[in-house]
Structure 1
Amino acid sequence: MSDNPQSLSNSQETSAVPVNNETLQNRRQHDLWKAIRTVPDFPKPGIDFYDITPLLLDHVDEVIDGMLAALPEGLLEQIDCFVAVEARGFVFASLLSGRLGKGMVLLRKPGKLPPPVANKSYALEYGSDTLEIQGGMAPRKVLLVDDILATGGTLTTAYHLCQEAGHDVAGVLVLLDLVDLHKPFPVPVYTVLEG
């Protein structure tokens, strides 16, 4: 054994288990899952609500890093902007837009966008709703962004609304995909976490 502390330190480092990208990704996913709070019977009986607000407080950089890592190589260069679904999609799309310098289109609830608008109604797990998109924009290649893909009603409506507005939807990017709750999607779904 050497009396040189530097020598001891180096030998300890080389015997450590190597950390690769997959290991880091698994750790990130574990940490993110731990921060999500499940609230049973909210907003109505029988619905489990995934509260992601702790992620926004303590893990926002890891979330955005994870979203970017979920995308295939070259996709970001192909898209012109992000389409954000009200309301939590605004958070993620804004952060992605700011980090990458790409634009953002908002899908809003009725009466929030000035005319002209196109709208579409859809069913939710716990009711129904309507989304609107601003009309008169030049067609773009877009990536839909939202927090959670559950039954798919909101994002399917967003997809069709974007198509009707002339946009080419390259895919959907979400933090959490509840894969057992929805049918296959018409475009690729990229996600950080699956449930």
Structure 2
Amino acid sequence: MNLKDKIADFPNFPKKGILFRDFSPILKDPSSLSYIADEFTKYFHPKNIDIFAGIESRGFILATVLASRYNKGMVMIRKAGKLPGKTVKLSYTIEYGKDTIEIQKGIIKEGQRILICDDLLATGGTAKASAKLIEKIGGKIAGFAFIIELTELGGIKGISNYDCKSLVKY
């Protein structure tokens, strides 16, 4: 299956000069969702993963699809102020300033192996910060799963010490 055929391009979104690669059309196609789950299942062995973590917000979708396929749980990595209860936060630098992500305190047990999921890898700042956040609370990174990777932005360099899989590369 060629997923590139199902990814929509939106020039000048969210701002001029950006070409937005949108995986939303994949979501309405059950065979594409199944294909995605199959491909990641071939790459990441279930015994090496205890739980999936989705990066806000599109990563939630991939993490949920994979968690269901692997019969594992899923947790959310969110922007600051979006999760109830006690959280652990991590601030990091992005292209145009700073951002903060968080995870609920106690949701991951010490030593659990986490596969971090997102729809797209671009510059890698949020992916790298997500790994640091998981490690900060005692989790171990089992790897990263991305549907799309924008190779020209070099985001893989910041997480190259982890096992990473992208299904579509531009």
- C-alpha displacement of 1:127: 5.9
Question: Any gaps of 5 or more consecutive residues in structure 2?
Answer: none
Partners of 1:162 and 1:44 in 2: how far apart? 31
Post-superposition CA distance 1:13-57 (Å, at most 9, x none):
xxxxxxxxxxxxxxx1x2x10111111111112221111100111
The residue that corresponds to 1:33 in the other structure is 4
Partners of 2:40 and 2:17 in 1: how far apart? 29
Partners of 1:49 and 1:126 in 2: how far apart? 18
- C-alpha displacement of 1:125: 4.8
Partners of 2:6 and 2:49 in 1: how far apart? 30
Partners of 2:19 and 2:73 in 1: how far apart? 33
Q: 1:67 aligns with which of 25, 30, 40?
A: 40
Paired amino acid for 2:168: L
Paired amino acid for 2:41: L
Cα distance change of structure 1 residues 66 and 125 upon mapping to structure 2, 3 Å threshold: farther
Question: Any gaps of 5 or more consecutive residues in structure 1?
Answer: 1-27
TM-score where L is the length of structure 2: 0.87
What is the root-mean-square deviation in Å for CA atoms of aligned residues? 1.7
TM-score where L is the length of structure 1: 0.77
Q: 1:188 aligns with which of 145, 159, 163?
A: 163
**Aligned residues with identical type, % of pairs:** 37
Runs of 4+ in 1 over 6 A off after TM superposition: none
Partners of 1:94 and 1:159 in 2: how far apart? 18
Partners of 2:6 and 2:115 in 1: how far apart? 26
Larger radius of gyration: 1
